[in-house]
Amino acid sequence: MRDESVSVTDATQASTRDFAAWEPGRAETIATALAHLPGACLPILHELQDEFGYIHQDAIPIVAEALNLSRAEVVGVVSFYHDFRQAPPGEHVVRICRGEACQSMGGEALVEHLETSLATKLGDTTSDGAISLSAAYCLGNCALSPAMMVDDRLHGRVTPERATGLLATIA
Amino acid sequence: MSTTIYVPLDSAARSVGADEVATAIAREAGRRGLNVNLMRNGSRGLFWLEPMVEVVIGSDRIAYGPVRGEDVAGLFDAGLLEGNAHSLRLGRTNEIPLLARQQRFTFSRCGIIDPLSLDAYVAHGGYEGLRRALALTPSAVVDEITASGLRGRGGAGFPTGLKWRTVLEAPADQKYIACNADEGDSGTYADRMIMEGDPFSLIEGMTIAGYATGATQGYIYIRSEYPSAFRSMARAVEIARAAGYLGALVAGTDLAFDIDVRLGAGAYICGEETSMLESLEGKKGLVRFRPPLPAIDGLFGKPTVVNNVLSLATAAPIMQHGAKAYAEAGTGRSRGTAVIQLAGNVRRGGLFEVPFGLTLREAIFDLGGGTATGRPLRAVQVGGSLGAYFPDELLDTPIDYEAMAAAGGMLGHGGIVVFDDTVDLAKQARFAMEFCAIESCGKCTPCRIGSQRGVEVIDRIIAGEQRDANLQLLDDLLEVMLDTSLCGLGGLTPYPVRSAVQHFPEDFDRAVPLKQEA
């Protein structure tokens, strides 16, 4: 279910997940456009990932060049942060909270349920490429545990049945 | 004449169907030809009542909740727009007992106004704090913050005024305000609520900090797990800038201050202040050695105020109402209000801003109503993933910085996670070590290697292998991590582990030995 119908002063619409195919020229444009920012490396990597869905290996020298860094430094940043992907994600990204608050309400059982029903593991993508499953360490929905996020949309009090229902809506 | 209805756009409220309710209200009003002005507000923080719908009747707001999409037609039938009776009717919002007994200072506007309406912000006292600050000298503003007794809300509880004083007195051509919005601890969501529900209060607080210390540039570092907070904060900054509240001439004065909103990338360690500074500089989030303190040598090597969202957002009402108004609440050296966030297995999970001094038991039972499952409470983790697990016997500990420390824990960012009697504390201790291993920045050995060894030792204890010797080994390991880690991740992971062993030893002695030890 999309929430376009609710435009009432809600400036927090979720972004679409239609990623562009890798294109070095476009990556260069992005890197050059943001290179003037102080500490530009993370903003550039985020922008690249928003555009292409992941950080293509050929983006590394482009970012390094734009920021006058070594390739090793850029690889270091990409690999340090959990968010930056080095391979294309599934069509949808499902993040399950593994924080303590969610654990207290059956969060680990939810993880098992999703791993089993999707036949994949945390950190992996389903074989049909539909869903990437990953762990989050707190989604900030701790009063409505357990929580999971489907793309940018947060869900609370997620029972295994509700999780199955939510995944059916994006399948 | 149209009737105004508020439906929260807070992402937690949306996570249980607030958007569906808003859509249903718009559709139902349309179908009945009724004129409804549908507004989106932040959340009041009473999450067990979300989605909570409020109808404006004269000068009152009448609340209904928790409302589901399918309840909406029935609510209209009952006379929602007149505030009529219905099984979901909660009465006047202000008189909901668990809201009425709070003392909202930092969260005075959250859940009341449209978060991105600057007019609504100003109409509810917004920017009065900045106006008052600008009439004083920067030094007098710092004095006011110091006199209020405000302490860092991120967890460390360091006096905010002292930090600002250090930056004010540090000579430099450039200074920064770096807002730590990397709220990574499980059980906490107060920063997210402010950023989604009252973002201008953070902007105003940062502007006051800029004026008080001579910083002209601010950064807000928001974790990527909070996409809605990031979008609303970025939008609020644009709106404030367009209205002249940020930029070269703030509010028509010669004060220059601007803010850039930055997105983290899924690293818990970046909530540690020096790691966050590294990340803002575009690097790996490796923790820095201290000294030098960030207040002297911080972002890009310049004097930097690093404060949590709530500390900065609280500066605005302190300047608005005066230090005394804030300091009057609280107990001992914990002045003002505590922002308690009840989480996990609790019947009424939510945010409660109350004076410091309430006990854990009062918070969990009087406010929270006990466990959600109805089973007996067994453990409570206070202060996030690095906080201690408390057993029932310690629940009479008052919620203030010193009392929590004396009980072997920490208040941290105010999160309280409740567990019922199905919890296995050996598993929780193992998780604390596993989490530390996953999130360690890798710079110091006790954290990077200690956490790995910690997981292994706990696994052996759980398996019943040489239990006593391994418990002793674990204790030694915790001592080393505690004393020699570079930052709070390795240095505080021993808290949940040690408290679990100390208060729940039976959970570490459950193994049925499979084979006789030789």
pLDDT tens across B13-44, in order?
999 999 999 999 999 999 999 999 999 999 99
Of B160-164, B330-334, B399-403, B465-469, the least confident: B330-334
Inter-helix orientation angle A41-52/A24-34, to 10° = 150
Nearest Cα of chain B lies from the Cα of A159 at a distance, in angstroms, of: 12
* B12 vs A contacts (CB less than 8 Å): 140-141, 143-144, 154, 156
A140 CB neighbours in chain B (<8 A) are 11-12, 183, 188-189, 192, 225-226, 229
User: β-strand A148-150 against A92-97: which pairing, if any?
Assistant: antiparallel
CB contact (8 A) between residue B344 and residue A14: no
- Per-residue pLDDT band for A17 (boundaries 50, 70, 90) equals low
Place of tokens 């604390």: B432
Per CB-CB distance under 8 Å, the chain A contacts of B420 are: 104
At residue A12, the pLDDT reads 40
Segment B277-331, tens digit of pLDDT: 999 999 999 999 999 999 999 999 999 999 999 999 999 999 999 999 999 988 8
Residue A36, burial from CB neighbour count under 10 angstroms (0-12, 13-18, 19+): exposed
Per residue in B462-495, pLDDT (tens digit) is: 999 999 999 999 999 999 999 999 999 999 999 9
Contact A142 B415 (CB under 8 A): yes
Is B450 a residue whose pLDDT tops 70? yes
Q: Three-state DSSP class for B382? A: strand
| Interface list for B 384-423 with A (CB within 8 A) | 385, 415, 417-420, 423
User: What's the CA gap between B4 and B419, in Å, rounded?
Assistant: 40
Q: Does B189 touch chain A (CB under 8 A)?
A: yes
Taking the CA of residue A84 and the nearest CA in chain B, the distance in Å comes to 7
Residue B21, token pair as written in the block: 């309710």
Query: Number of helices and strands (H, E) in chain A?
Result: 7, 4
Residue B145: phi, psi to the nearest 5?
-65, -40
Locate the chain A residue with the closest alpha carbon to B114.
A9
Q: How confident is the model at residue B412 (pLDDT cuts 50, 70, 90)?
A: very high
Q: What is the DSSP letter of B388?
A: P
Residue in A73, A156, A69, A51 with CA at minimum distance from that of residue B189: A156
Any CB–CB contact under 8 A between A82 and chain B? Answer: yes
What count of CB pairs under 8 Å joins A to B?
197
ipTM of this complex prediction, to 2 decimal places = 0.95
B485 touches chain A (CB under 8 A): no
Whether A143 and chain B come into contact, CB under 8 Å, resolves to: yes
Q: What is the pTM of this model?
A: 0.95
Task: Kindly tell me if the per-residue pLDDT of B109 is higher than 60.
Answer: yes
Give the distance, in angstroms, between the CA of residue B296 and the centroid of all CA atoms in the same chain: 26
Cis preceding linkage at B391, omega within 30: no
Residue tagged 């609020």 (tokens):
B236
Q: Look at B186 and A99 and tell me if their CB atoms are within 8 Å.
A: yes
> CB distance from A21 to chain B under 8 Å?
no
CB contact under 8 A, B12 and A144: yes
**How far apart are the CA of B380 and the nearest CA of chain A, in angstroms?**
10
* CB hemisphere CA count around B32 (13 angstroms): 17
Interface of B with A in 70-99 (CB under 8 A): none
